[in-house]
Amino acid sequence: MSNEDIVKTGTTTIGLKIKDGVILASDQRATMGNLIAHSDVKKVYSLSDNLGMTIAGVVGDAQLMVRYMRSEISIYSMKRGSQMSVSAAATLVGNLMRRGFYLGLIVGGYDSTGAHVFSIDGAGGYIEDNYTSIGSGSTFALGSLESSYKQDMSKKEAIDVAITALNSSRKRDNYSGDGMLISFIGPKGYEEIPQDQIKIRCAELGFIYPS
């Protein structure tokens, strides 16, 4: 199978550490070479009540990684009687990446030490940061984030920042587009932001919701 036949999430994924938690966001487009293969792809996943992950890369590898991480985190929690920390989850994902996954990932979550966001590269290296973006549209998203990110942002403010960054990338990157997924992870757990709320905020910000 050639690279042109592999379905990839070309993509823009975003992670933000904010005042009371973490925002994870992405577009929803998947491509196969220059073809838009799917326009409703899930790229933001819950791994547990306190952990989430965004995926960019080969779709099959991404689905396998999510299944494996959910299983390992569940086993860890049962054995320890406590939640896995965000740092431990990022370490585990980094170790798995060295087995040959073609992915770029963001792991974020909330634990006893607060909110954390880690970017994880294809070689398994992981770096904690206040905000990050991975994928083909990340250059455009980062430009937007650099001008609008504030560490003490509220959840509502951070959702607007994520929407604005995703809008910037989809306008410039052919491999990003077709919808937005946004999740929040805080002291009360993992929460997916409803699509109707995202569409309302897009309209209020003056953006046309991508379709």
Q: Hey, which residues are catalytic here?
A: 11
Task: Give every CB contact of residue 41 below 8 A, 6+ residues apart in sequence.
Answer: 9, 28, 29, 30, 59, 178
**SS3 assignment for 126-147:** EEECCEEEECCCHHHHHHHHHH
Task: Give every CB contact of residue 191 below 8 A, 6+ residues apart in sequence.
Answer: 183, 184, 185
Token pair, residue 47, equals: 């791994």
Phi then psi for residue 15, to 5 deg, are -130, 130
Output 35-44 pairs: Cβ under 8 A, ≥24 positions apart.
36/178, 37/7, 38/7, 39/177, 39/178, 39/179, 40/178, 40/179, 41/9, 41/178, 42/181, 43/9, 43/11, 43/13, 43/181, 44/13, 44/181, 44/182, 44/183, 44/192
